[in-house]
Amino acid sequence: MTLGGLTRHILRSKANGRVVSQKRIDEELEAAKALCEWLGYLPLGLELVGRYLSEHPTFSLARVQEELEGKRLEAQALCQDKGT
């Protein structure tokens, strides 16, 4: 299975009885690959992102990754020692 095939297989996982459409994945294949890689292909992360994408069909995969990266930076800032 190619990376593109793996990405399609992963993102087509069911989310609340819905799936991320094949058309959507094909249209944003490079972004889908990047998002799966960024999530480390972890099943829970992929499931949660799949559900989020199902609930927000107008959001691009790149936008979702940008939002997740921003939240990660915010969380890191909250965890830093305030005394430094």
SS3 assignment for the chain: CCHHHHHHHHHCCCECCECCCHHHHHHCHHHHHHHHHHCCCCHHHHHHHHHHHHHCCCCCHHHHHHHHHHHHHHHHHHHCCCCC
Q: Residues 10-39: pLDDT tens digits?
A: 565 544 445 567 788 888 889 988 988 888
Reported confidence tier of residue 81, pLDDT bands at 50, 70, 90: low
What average pLDDT does range 53-62 have in this prediction?
A: 88
Reported confidence tier of residue 1, pLDDT bands at 50, 70, 90: very low
Tokens at residue 54, please? 């199902």
Domain ranges in the chain are: 3-79
Q: Using the predicted structure, report yes or no on whether residue 67 has a pLDDT greater than 50.
A: yes
